[in-house]
């Protein structure tokens, strides 16, 4: 699946991304297209198709929780969805383990999980100040 290589190209720098956070084992970057303000993907820097692949470092899984907290704080939200589709039957479309951090704005209570992609250009305009804060 060619899409599984997109994450490899992102963490090797072949494909640019808006990096949010990085550790030795993990990379977090803005999703394209996003479904919410601050929608971020968290991927391992090692190729693993699913959570049960023996090559997936436990350290990556240990990174996910703290990274989620940082993403929520970055977006000024304390409500968010953590999404991970593991396997084709579960809806996994990219053959590389990844988590979605989908923050939920406080002014939209009780909406649960709503996945409505935004246009990339309007999203970047809305993230302009957040991205400037991250770069400083």
Boundaries of every domain in the chain: 4-128
Residues contacting 126, CB < 8 A, separation 6+:
37, 118
Provide the token pair at 88: 């084709």
Mean pLDDT of 115-134: 64
Q: Among 35-49, 61-75, 111-125, which stretch is predicted with the lowest mean pLDDT?
A: 111-125
How would residue 93 be classed by pLDDT, with cut points 50, 70 and 90?
Answer: confident
49 and 84 in contact (C-beta within 8 Å)?
A: no
* Percentage of the chain modeled with pLDDT above 70: 74
Average pLDDT of the chain, as a whole number: 82
Mean pLDDT (whole number) for 59-84? 88
pLDDT at 79: 80
Secondary structure E strands in the chain: 19-22, 26-30, 40-44, 80-83, 99-103
Q: Tell me whether residue 96 is one of the annotated catalytic residues.
A: no
Please compute the mean of the pLDDT values over residues 37-53 and round it to a whole number: 90
Overall average pLDDT of the 118-125 stretch: 66
Q: Which CATH superfamily is domain 4-128 in?
A: HIT-like (3.30.428.10)
pTM listed for this prediction: 0.77
Q: Which of 39, 96, 98, 100 is catalytic?
A: 98
- Decide: 92 and 86 in contact? Cβ < 8 Å: yes
């Amino acid at each position: 699946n060619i899409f599984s290589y997109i994450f490899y190209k992102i963490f090797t720098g072949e494909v640019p991304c808006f990096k949010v956070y990085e550790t030795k084992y993990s990379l977090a970057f803005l999703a394209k297209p996003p479904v919410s303000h601050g929608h971020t993907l968290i991927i391992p820097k090692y190729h693993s198709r699913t959570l049960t692949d023996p090559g997936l470092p436990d350290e990556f899984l240990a990174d996910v929780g703290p990274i989620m907290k940082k993403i929520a704080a970055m977006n000024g939200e304390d409500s968010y969805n953590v999404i991970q589709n593991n396997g084709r039957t579960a809806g996994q479309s990219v053959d590389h383990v990844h988590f979605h951090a989908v923050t939920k704005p406080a002014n939209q209570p009780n909406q649960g999980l709503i996945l409505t992609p935004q246009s990339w250009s309007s999203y970047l305009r809305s993230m302009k100040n957040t991205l400037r804060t991250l770069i400083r």
